């Protein structure tokens, strides 16, 4: 669907994207994650042909980007705006028309979408009459109105309240179910981690980690289980898979042996008493990001290391 091969983009004084490669298979929601300034937006801009890479090759749908290909892609840039004086319906139709839609089709779909995002009745209002969040919904609608096969969303939820964020997430999942490939780029890793099937973590223009979200989570899941258990904790500790049990009243923190399956331990615990809560200690994407960067000896911007759940 999208393949980026050894792409490099240099600006005066720094390298924004450094020998970066990526392949995105069709029909997934793909997360392009990393802190501000990691090179996400530059990568996307190169993919959309807005800027040219200094080195490397980018192909979409198996061919280099061309004008006709652009009509099969939807792009919500990070730097986005609307013509302030234009009427909302006219604006959506204009953006749809330059994606190759006829004005009639565009008007029909625009009506449906405005209803979907709770903006029915605003058709003839000028853009400037809308709040920022509302404008953002218009931009989102304009990005997908031509029913693209691939959408690239750069920080799609920035500035949205939780309700509207959920609305957009629902639409994104629907699109994926209909076969659209969605590429989500954001620095808010936690916000999208439940949405993405595959992710790529970027830092300083280089790939840190890539793969299926579940695999990555598994790989980085800590071997610690926290549980509420009424039974004999010492008996649990005797189990060969268990290395150590720390007791906090009924709450236990169980450290498993290297490579042990938490499921086996759970079954064992259920034999010996009641389990009210069982949670495998999962590392957040942000922690995984930091751990991986550190492990590779890479540099980390101070604020990323500190900010935790930024």
Partner 1 sequence: MKKMLIVVRREYLDRVKKKSFLIGTILGPILMGLLIFAPALLFKLSPETQTTITVIDLAGDVYAQMETSLADTLDDGTPKFIIREVEVDVTGLEEAKRVLNLEVENDAIDGYVVIPADIPDEGKAVFYGKRIGDIKTLERIERALSNVVIGMRLFSRGLDYSEVKGLVKGVDLETMQVTDKGAEKRGGFDFIFMSSLLFIMMLYMTILMWGVAVQRSIIEEKNNRVIEVLLSSLRPEDLLFGKIFGVGAVGLTQYAIWGLFGTIMTAYGLTMGGPVAELAGNLSFATLGFFILYYVLGFLFYATMFAGIGSVCNTDQEAQQMQTPIVLCLVFTILVPMMVIQRPDSLFATVISLVPFFTPIVMFMRINVLMPPAWQIALSVVIMILAIRFAGKLSARIFRTGILMYGKKPDAREILKWLKRA
Please report how close the Cβ of residue 80 comes to partner 1 at its closest, in angstroms: 6
Structure tokens at 271: 């034999």
Rounded to 5°, the CA angle 111-112-118 comes to 90
Minimum gap (Å) between residue 82 Cβ and partner 1: 6
Beta bridge partners of 153: 76, 184
The candidate with the shortest Cα–Cα distance to 113, out of 175, 49, 39, 56, is 175
Rank residues 153 and 265 by Cβ distance to partner 1 and give the closer one.
Answer: 153
Cβ proximity to partner 1, 80 vs 125, nearer residue: 80
Three-state DSSP at 275 gives strand
**How far is Cα 151 from Cα 181, in angstroms, rounded to an integer?**
6
Q: Which is nearer to partner 1, 127 or 265 (CB)?
A: 127
Q: Which string of DSSP letters, residue by residue, matches 194-239?
A: TT-SEEEEEETTEEEEEEEHHHHHHHH--SEEEEEEEE-HHHHHHS
Q: Which of 202, 184, 203 is nearest to 194 (CA)?
A: 184
User: How far apart are CB 55 and partner 1 at their closest, in Å?
Assistant: 15
151 and 3 Cβ atoms separated by less than 8 Å:
no
Q: How far is the CB of 12 from partner 1 (least distance, A)?
A: 9
As a whole number of angstroms, the distance between CA 152 and CA 161 comes to: 21
CB nearer partner 1, residue 86 or residue 300: 86
The DSSP element (H or E) to which 133 belongs, if any, is helix 132-144
Pairing of strands 181-186, 2-11: unpaired
For residue 229, give both structure tokens.
């258990």
CA–CA gap between residue 151 and residue 180 (Å, rounded): 7
Nearer Cβ to partner 1, position 34 or 148? 148
How far apart, in whole angstroms, are the C-alpha atoms of residue 95 and residue 140?
Answer: 11
- Of 150 and 216, which CB lies nearer to partner 1 in the complex structure? 150
Binding interface with partner 1 (CB under 8 A): 45, 48-51, 67, 70-71, 73, 75-77, 79-86, 94-95, 97-99, 139, 142-143
Residue 23: closest CA among 143, 179, 181, 192: 181
Q: Report in angstroms how near the CB of residue 252 gets to partner 1 at its nearest.
A: 53
To partner 1, the closest distance from the beta carbon of 170 in angstroms equals: 23
Cross-strand bridge partners of residue 253? 226, 246
Q: Which is nearer to partner 1, 48 or 300 (CB)?
A: 48
CB of 126 to partner 1, least distance (A): 11
Which residue, 78 or 210, is less far from partner 1 as judged by CB? 78
Whole-number minimum distance, CB 152 to partner 1, in Å?
8
């Amino acid at each position: 669907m999208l393949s980026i091969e050894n792409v490099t983009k240099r600006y005066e004084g720094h390298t924004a994207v450094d020998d970066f490669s990526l392949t995105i298979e069709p029909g997934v929601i793909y997360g392009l994650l990393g802190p501000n300034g990691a090179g996400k937006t530059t990568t996307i801009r190169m993919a959309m042909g807005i800027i040219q890479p200094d080195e490397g090759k980018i192909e979409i749908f198996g061919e280099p980007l061309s004008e006709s290909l652009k009509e099969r892609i939807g792009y919500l840039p990070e730097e986005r705006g609307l013509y302030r004086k234009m009427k909302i319906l006219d604006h959506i139709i204009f953006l749809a028309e330059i994606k190759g839609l006829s004005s009639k089709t565009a008007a029909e779909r625009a009506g449906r979408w405005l209803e979907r995002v709770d903006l029915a009745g605003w058709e003839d209002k000028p853009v400037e009459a809308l709040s920022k969040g509302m404008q953002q919904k218009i931009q989102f609608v304009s990005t997908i109105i031509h029913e693209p096969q691939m959408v690239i969303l750069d920080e799609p939820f920035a500035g949205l309240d939780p309700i509207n964020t959920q609305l957009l997430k629902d639409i994104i999942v629907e699109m994926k179910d209909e076969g659209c490939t969605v590429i989500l780029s954001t620095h808010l890793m936690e916000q999208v981690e439940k949405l993405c099937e595959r992710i790529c973590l970027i830092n300083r223009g280089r790939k840190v980690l890539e793969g299926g979200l579940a695999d990555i989570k598994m790989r980085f899941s800590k071997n610690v289980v926290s549980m509420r258990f009424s039974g004999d904790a010492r008996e649990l500790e005797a189990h060969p898979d268990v290395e150590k049990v720390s007791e906090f009243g009924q709450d236990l923190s169980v450290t498993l042996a290297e490579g042990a399956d938490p499921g086996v331990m759970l079954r064992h615990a259920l034999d010996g008493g009641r389990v009210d809560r069982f949670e495998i200690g999962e590392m957040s994407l942000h922690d995984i990001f930091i751990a991986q960067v550190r492990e590779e000896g890479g540099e980390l911007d101070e604020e990323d290391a500190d900010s935790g759940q930024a």
